[in-house]
Each structure stands twice: as structure tokens, then as C-alpha cells.
């Protein structure tokens, strides 16, 4: 439990607004980095991603694959999911020949995208702990979608940040989740006030979970937290 974990890092480029996709992936426990047409080349050169998602919707020309080709010249190993409006058979084949690992045609379901990402990362040997809809935490049932924690017919409503924090702790149960990851994933800024806010949220979560003595949020001072369910 002393080894700190890292969230799977996903780079997204779309030639349209990608905020909905980014928020969805972040909610499900991925570290999301978005890029624009101006900075995508530099982001690719960083080469520290577990998976890339490239989306082209404005045109259906083969030239859309130039970015993919440029990525493959820099990194020929990182998995790539290509999303496009183009369903033409020849175009799909060209994309696979250029180095994509999966090809998704719009419109598509975001839940399906999550499952495709998890499948690719598993095949690459990358540990995936994406957020689930519900968790059993001792005698508690935690619903990540409704932000509720229930025990013995008592329902506790969590704030959005409390729910996100507890969801990450559940996804990485028994593993050390660093303060840095929590700050980046939930607050996006690790300034002094946000750090204190994290401490308050952890205190609140401990209070919510005290009805089952087996459930403990352990602290490694100055490093991070781990959700542990002790055996009776």
C-alpha cells in the first residue's frame, strides 16, 4: 500500500468542442489532457500518455489522417482511438493502415467508448480502475451517479466533490491515492485553499462512513489516502 498509483492518462484532440467527452472520461477515473489545433503537436511530443483519442468531424478527406501519421512518427506504441463521421470502407481501412488501434463512427455511445478504452488498456498491460456506477463499501452502498451513500435505509447525500473523492478511493481501494492526484483530478489546482478543502472533504467522508467500523480511510501523512475495509 506504500506504492502510489497513477490514473491512466488520455490525450484528446477533436476539431470540435471535446468538453463533454473530457468530463465524462474524467468522471470515470481517467486523467484527461485536452489539446487544440495549436498545441496538439507539442502535446504529442510529450509522449507520456497511456492512450490517445483523435476526432475529426469537419471534413471527410483522407488528409484527416495526417495528424495520426505525425503521431505515429513520434510514438508508434501508444494506443490510438480514431473517431470520425466517415464510414466509407476504404477510409476505415486507411486509418487502420496508418496505425489506429480502434475506429469509432459517430454517433456513438460514451459508455461504449469507456469500455473500448478499458479493453485496449488491459491488452496493453495498463492497470485500469475506471469508476463504476455503484460500490459496496462494507455495509454501505455508494451510487456514484446519484452521489448517495446508503446504509440501513439511511441515505446520505454527498456533494459533487465528496462523491468524486470517494469514487476514486473506491476505484483504488487498498492502494495509496496521492494528494496530488486528488487535487489534479477534482480541484485542478493544488493551491493552499484547495488543499485545506481536500482535508475537510476527507473529514466529512470519515464521518459519513463511521457507521461501519470496518471502513477506514487511512492517511499517509503528506502523501495520500487509502480506503481500507478491515475484516471482522
Query: How do residues 130-180 score in pLDDT, each as one tens digit?
Result: 678 899 999 999 999 899 999 999 999 999 999 989 998 998 888 888 887
Rounded to whole angstroms, the Cα distance separating 168 from 207 reads 18
Beta bridge partners of 134: 143
Q: How high is the pLDDT of residue 1?
A: 42
Q: Please name which of 110, 63, 113 lies closest in space to residue 91, comparing C-alpha atoms.
A: 63
- If pLDDT is split at 50, 70 and 90, which confidence band does 15 have? confident
pLDDT at residue 2 greater than cutoff 60: no
Average pLDDT estimate for 117-135: 84
Rounded to whole angstroms, the Cα distance separating 102 from 59 reads 19
- If pLDDT is split at 50, 70 and 90, which confidence band does 6 have? low
Rounded to whole angstroms, the Cα distance separating 207 from 97 reads 55
Measured from the Cβ of residue 38, the count of other Cβ atoms closer than 10 Å reads 7
Q: How high is the pLDDT of residue 192?
A: 61
Peptide bond into 107 cis (omega under 30): yes
As a 3-state breakdown, the chain gives helix, strand, coil percent values, each rounded to 5, of 40, 25, 35
Tens digits of residue pLDDT in 185-211: 777 666 666 778 888 999 999 999 999
Residue 211 phi, psi (nearest 5): -75, -10
- If pLDDT is split at 50, 70 and 90, which confidence band does 232 have? low
CA distance to 77, 108, 135, 165, 228, per residue, from 52 (Å): 11, 17, 28, 25, 33
Query: For the chain, how big is the Rg over CA atoms in Å?
Result: 20
Tens digits of residue pLDDT in 44-98: 787 688 999 998 766 554 456 888 888 888 888 889 999 988 888 888 898 899 8
Q: How high is the pLDDT of residue 125?
A: 82
Residue 24 phi, psi (nearest 5): -65, -45
Q: Which tops the pLDDT comparison, 184 or 114? A: 114
Predicted TM-score (pTM) of the model is 0.66
Q: Which helix (H) or strand (E) holds 147?
A: none
The x, y and z cell numbers of residue 184, run together, are: 489534479
Amino acid at each position: 500500500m506504500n506504492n502510489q498509483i497513477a490514473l491512466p492518462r488520455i490525450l484528446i484532440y477533436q476539431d470540435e468542442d471535446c468538453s463533454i467527452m473530457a468530463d465524462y472520461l474524467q468522471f470515470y477515473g481517467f486523467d484527461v489532457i485536452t489539446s487544440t489545433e495549436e498545441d496538439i503537436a507539442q502535446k504529442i511530443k510529450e509522449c507520456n500518455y497511456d492512450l490517445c483519442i483523435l476526432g475529426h468531424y469537419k471534413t471527410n478527406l483522407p488528409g484527416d489522417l495526417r495528424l495520426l501519421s505525425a503521431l505515429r512518427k513520434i510514438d508508434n506504441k501508444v494506443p490510438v482511438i480514431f473517431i470520425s463521421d466517415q464510414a466509407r470502407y476504404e477510409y476505415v481501412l486507411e486509418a487502420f493502415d496508418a496505425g489506429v488501434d480502434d475506429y469509432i463512427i459517430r454517433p456513438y455511445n460514451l459508455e461504449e467508448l469507456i469500455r473500448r478504452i478499458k479493453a485496449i488498456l488491459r491488452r496493453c498491460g495498463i492497470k485500469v480502475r475506471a469508476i463504476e456506477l455503484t460500490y459496496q463499501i462494507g455495509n454501505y452502498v455508494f451510487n456514484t451517479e446519484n452521489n448517495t451513500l446508503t446504509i440501513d435505509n439511511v441515505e446520505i447525500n454527498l456533494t459533487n466533490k465528496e462523491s468524486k473523492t470517494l469514487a476514486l478511493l473506491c476505484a483504488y481501494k487498498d492502494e495509496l491515492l496521492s494528494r496530488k492526484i486528488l487535487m489534479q483530478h477534482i480541484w485542478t489546482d493544488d493551491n493552499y485553499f484547495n488543499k485545506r478543502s481536500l482535508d475537510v472533504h476527507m473529514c466529512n467522508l470519515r464521518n459519513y462512513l463511521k457507521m461501519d467500523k470496518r471502513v477506514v480511510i487511512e492517511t499517509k501523512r503528506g502523501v495520500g489516502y487509502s480506503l481500507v475495509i478491515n475484516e471482522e
